[in-house]
Amino acid sequence: MVKKKILILCGGISRERLISLDTGRQVAKELKKNHYKVKVCEPDNNLLKNIKLFKPNIIFNALHGQFGEDGYIQTILETQKISYTHSGVIASAVAMDKVISKNIFIKNNILTPKYIKLDQKENSKNIIKIIEKKLKFPIVIKPINEGSSVNVYICNKKNIIKNLKKLKLYNQILIEEFIPGREIQVAIMGKKKLGAIELKPKRKFYDYEAKYNSNAKTKHIIPINLDKKKQNEILNIALKAHKIIGCRGVTRSDFKFHNGKFYLLEINTQPGMTKLSLVPEIAAYKGITFIKLIEWILKDASINR
């Protein structure tokens, strides 16, 4: 059987560049091991030229963050009329924007932390009063359109102004109520509820370091220690979010579990495929090897063109 030609798109200019390169490398290595013809390239000025010369059957989108996960590159790929992996233009854009996606969750009765959208041009001197009126400390601040917990801070009254200054490059910031409790993440594979994993970071929360630094020693617990009813509940919420956003392929939804309730933080349309990534780990627990997972993603891309 002649194996398909796969162009892997990774790197980019977002703050998740290194993670994207790692995902691209590991996917490429696995595909080459299984006799696929593979080309790895950046989303630079040579992208369209590379597509034209290589003539791939499918593009594996291994980009993370801005310009790769937010509908931008998907729009360019649509013009080439070539199948590409993961979600399409609209679903990618919606999922990447934390305010838009949270509003969709709320309208569809999915519990998510309360929030304030802050325009950085506003006077930050009043921000403490605004927070105390609408939320309560501690709170979480984060960019509206970044992934991998990039520039996410848990804040109290004393450090909120200092931490906001760290995010001065962003025009808009999400200020969210801090939900304590257990960190649980759920993988969806098309219409299938793949499974869930619990994370116990030694750091304050599951931030960038906890995700990608092997020395951070985050404990991964699978299967999760919840009764059957609660397990089904969180899986059903993740599948519902996947559907209402209009996602395809594989997604990973991030939850907090507190006082018997699941709070959906966000949905990731292009979860990582590194050695420390959660979707491959959940898939492996369910008996799906890394290559089988990749092949399913490729097949899903070709079916859903």
Give me the pLDDT at residue 206, please. Answer: 43
Query: Domain holding 138: CATH number?
Result: 3.30.1490.20
pTM of the model: 0.90
Specify whether 194 is located in the same domain as 120.
Answer: no
The sheet with strand 219-221 has its strands ordered as 219-221, 192-200, 182-189, 250-258, 261-268
Give me the pLDDT at residue 303, please. Answer: 73
Query: Domain holding 202: CATH number?
Result: 3.30.470.20
Mean pLDDT per 10-residue section of the chain, whose length is 305 residues: 84 88 95 95 92 95 91 92 94 94 97 89 71 89 74 87 84 90 96 95 53 64 96 98 97 96 96 89 96 96 73
Specify whether 268 is located in the same domain as 250.
Answer: yes
CA dist 31 to 64, 67, 276, 290, Å?
Answer: 20, 25, 19, 10
Lookup: tokens for 205: 């929360």
Residues taking part in catalysis: 16, 148, 212, 252, 254, 266, 268, 272
Specify whether 185 is located in the same domain as 168.
Answer: no
Specify whether 106 is located in the same domain as 236.
Answer: yes
Specify whether 255 is located in the same domain as 145.
Answer: no
Query: Domain holding 73: CATH number?
Result: 3.40.50.20
Phi, psi of 104 (to 5 degrees): -65, -40
- Which three-class secondary structure state does DSSP give residue 100? helix
> Rounded to an integer, what distance in angstroms lies between the CA atom of residue 76 and that of residue 81?
10
Which of 147, 177, 207 represents a domain boundary (last residue)?
177
Closest CA to 63 of 28, 111, 18, 109: 18
Specify whether 105 is located in the same domain as 225.
Answer: yes
Q: Model confidence over 151-164: pLDDT tens digits?
A: 788 998 888 888 88
Q: Model confidence over 70-89: pLDDT tens digits?
A: 999 999 999 989 999 999 99
Domain encompassing residue 37: 5-85
Specify whether 21 is located in the same domain as 69.
Answer: yes
Give me the pLDDT at residue 180, please. Answer: 93
The DSSP call for residue 204 is: S
Give me the pLDDT at residue 210, please. Answer: 44
Specify whether 195 is located in the same domain as 244.
Answer: yes
Give me the pLDDT at residue 295, please. Answer: 96
> Rounded to an integer, what distance in angstroms lies between the CA atom of residue 12 and that of residue 62?
10
Q: Give the number of other Cβ atoms within 10 Å of residue 44's Cβ.
A: 11
> Rounded to an integer, what distance in angstroms lies between the CA atom of residue 279 and that of residue 285?
10
Specify whether 227 is located in the same domain as 170.
Answer: no
Please count the structural domains in the chain.
Answer: 3
Specify whether 281 is located in the same domain as 142.
Answer: no
In sequence order, what are the residues at sequence separation of 6 or more whose Cβ sits closer than 8 angstroms to the Cβ of residue 153? 140, 141, 142, 159, 163, 166, 167
Specify whether 73 is located in the same domain as 211.
Answer: no
Specify whether 163 is located in the same domain as 275.
Answer: no
Lookup: tokens for 243: 């559907």
CA dist 164 to 113, 142, 155, 225, Å?
Answer: 19, 9, 9, 36
> Rounded to an integer, what distance in angstroms lies between the CA atom of residue 281 and that of residue 207?
18
Give me the pLDDT at residue 208, please. Answer: 43
> Rounded to an integer, what distance in angstroms lies between the CA atom of residue 136 and that of residue 165?
20
Give me the pLDDT at residue 1, please. Answer: 44
Question: Is residue 149 within 8 Å of residue 197, measured between CB atoms?
Answer: no
Q: Give the number of other Cβ atoms within 10 Å of residue 138's Cβ.
A: 15
Which of 151, 177, 203 represents a domain boundary (last residue)?
177
Give me the pLDDT at residue 124, please. Answer: 58
Which of 124, 148, 177 represents a domain boundary (last residue)?
177
